[in-house]
C-alpha cells in the first residue's frame, strides 16, 4: 500500500510542473504589462518609459522565460510564492487567508450534489422507462446545460431582489452561503444523478439482486443495502473529481456574490496582471486538487481489494493465499 501511495505522489510532480509551465506561458503571451499599470500614464513619455523599464527590472520581468520559470519553481519549493506587485506583501499568507471561503463553498456544494444526486439516480434507475425516469432525465439535462453564472443571477433576482429572503452578497450570516452553494451544486448534482442512475441500472440486473428478491428482501433493502453499496464504488472516484470541479465553480460564485475567496483574488490578479498572484493561486489550487485525488485513490484502494493486491509483494500474497 505504501508503494501505491508513493507512486501516486510521484505522478503529481510532473503534473504540477506542467501546470506551472503552462500558466507562465499563458501569462507571457497575454497582452498587458504590469509595469505599465504600476507606473500609470505620465505626461512626459520619455520619463514614463524610463520608469516602466525600472519597474520591469525590479520585478524581474526582463529575465528570460526559463530563468523566471526556474526561479518561480525553486522559490515555490521553499514555500515562497513571491510578493504582490502592488501591495508588496507575500502572496502565500493572502492565499491561505482566502482559501477557507473557497473550500467552504466547494465542500458544501459537493455534499449537496451527492445528497441530491444519489436519491434521484437511484429513483430513476428503479423506475426505468417510466414517466418518473423521463422527468428525472429531463431535469438533469436542464441543470447540466444551464450555465452556473446565469443560474446564480436568476437565484439572486428571485430570492434576493424579488422576495428579499437571502442576502445579495457578502458573508455576514449563514444565510449568505445558501445561494452560492445551491448555484454551484445543482449542475454537478445533475451529472452525479445521471452517473448514479447508470451504475444502478448495471447493478440491479446482476444475479445477486435477483437472489435477494427471491429470498423475500424488501425493495428498500435491495436498493440501498445491496445495489447502492456496489454501485457506489465507482461513484467514490466521481466525488473526487466533483470536488475539484466545485473548487472551480466556487471561484465563479465568489465573484458573483462578492465573497472574499480565491475567486476574487485571482480575478483581481488577472485584471491587474499581477503575475505572482495568478501563478501562485493556480499552483496552489492544482496542488489541492491533486491532494484530493490522492486521498480518493487511497480510499478507493482500501475499498477495492483488487487495487490493493496489485501492490502486495508476491511472497506476502502467496502467504495469504496459503
Alpha carbon distance 240, 292 (integer Å):
6
Q: What is the full per-residue pLDDT of the chain (322 aa) written as tens digits?
A: 677 677 778 888 888 888 888 988 888 888 878 888 877 754 455 577 777 778 888 888 888 888 888 888 888 888 888 888 888 888 888 888 888 988 888 888 888 888 888 888 888 888 878 888 888 888 888 887 888 788 888 888 888 888 888 888 777 888 888 888 888 888 888 888 888 888 888 887 777 777 877 887 777 777 777 777 777 777 777 777 778 778 877 788 888 888 888 888 888 888 888 888 888 888 898 888 888 888 877 777 776 666 656 655 544 544 555 4
How many Cβ atoms sit within 10 Å of the Cβ of residue 32? 11
Domain residue spans in the chain? 91-318
Tens of pLDDT along 3-54? 767 777 888 888 888 888 898 888 888 887 888 887 775 445 557 777 777 8
Task: List, for residues 163-204, the tens digit of each pLDDT value.
Answer: 888 888 777 888 888 888 888 888 888 888 888 888 888 887
Distance CA 202, CA 305 (A): 21
**Which superfamily, per CATH, for 91-318?**
MetI-like (1.10.3720.10)
pLDDT at 315: 45
Decide if 86 contacts 274 (C-beta within 8 A): yes
Given a contact cutoff of 8 angstroms between Cβ atoms, the answer to whether 84 and 274 are in contact is yes
CB 112 within 8 A of CB 193: no
Q: Cα separation of 259 and 279, whole Å? A: 21
Return d(Cα 276, Cα 86) in angstroms, integer: 11
% residues pLDDT > 70 (the chain)? 91
Is the pTM here over 0.75, yes or no?
A: yes
Amino acid at each position: 500500500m505504501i508503494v501505491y501511495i508513493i507512486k501516486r505522489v510521484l505522478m503529481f510532480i510532473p503534473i504540477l510542473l506542467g501546470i506551472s509551465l503552462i500558466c507562465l506561458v499563458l501569462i507571457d503571451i497575454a497582452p498587458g504589462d504590469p509595469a505599465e499599470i504600476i507606473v500609470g500614464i505620465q505626461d512626459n513619455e520619455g520619463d514614463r518609459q524610463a520608469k516602466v523599464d525600472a519597474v520591469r527590472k525590479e520585478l524581474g520581468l526582463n529575465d528570460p522565460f526559463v530563468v523566471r520559470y526556474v526561479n518561480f519553481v525553486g522559490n515555490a519549493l521553499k514555500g515562497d510564492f513571491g510578493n504582490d506587485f502592488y501591495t508588496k506583501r507575500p502572496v502565500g499568507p493572502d492565499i491561505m487567508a482566502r482559501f477557507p471561503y473557497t473550500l467552504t463553498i466547494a465542500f458544501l456544494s459537493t455534499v449537496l450534489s451527492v445528497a441530491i444526486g444519489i436519491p434521484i439516480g437511484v429513483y430513476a434507475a428503479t423506475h426505468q422507462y417510466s414517466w418518473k425516469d423521463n422527468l428525472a432525465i429531463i431535469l438533469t439535462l436542464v441543470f447540466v446545460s444551464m450555465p452556473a453564472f446565469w443560474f446564480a443571477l436568476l437565484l439572486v433576482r428571485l430570492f434576493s431582489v424579488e422576495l428579499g429572503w437571502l442576502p445579495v452578497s457578502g458573508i455576514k450570516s449563514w444565510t449568505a452561503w445558501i445561494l452560492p452553494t445551491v448555484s454551484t451544486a445543482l449542475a454537478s448534482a445533475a451529472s452525479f444523478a445521471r452517473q448514479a442512475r447508470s451504475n444502478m441500472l448495471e447493478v440491479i440486473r446482476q444475479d445477486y439482486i435477483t437472489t435477494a428478491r427471491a429470498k423475500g428482501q424488501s425493495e428498500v433493502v435491495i436498493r440501498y443495502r445491496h445495489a447502492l453499496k456496489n454501485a457506489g464504488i465507482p461513484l467514490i472516484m466521481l466525488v473526487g473529481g466533483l470536488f475539484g470541479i466545485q473548487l472551480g465553480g466556487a471561484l465563479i460564485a465568489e465573484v458573483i456574490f462578492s465573497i472574499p475567496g480565491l475567486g476574487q483574488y485571482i480575478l483581481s490578479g488577472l485584471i491587474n496582471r499581477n503575475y505572482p498572484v495568478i501563478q501562485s493561486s493556480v499552483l496552489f489550487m492544482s496542488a489541492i486538487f491533486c491532494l484530493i485525488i490522492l486521498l480518493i485513490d487511497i480510499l478507493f484502494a482500501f475499498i477495492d481489494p483488487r487495487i490493493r493486491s496489485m501492490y502486495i509483494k508476491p511472497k506476502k500474497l502467496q502467504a495469504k493465499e496459503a
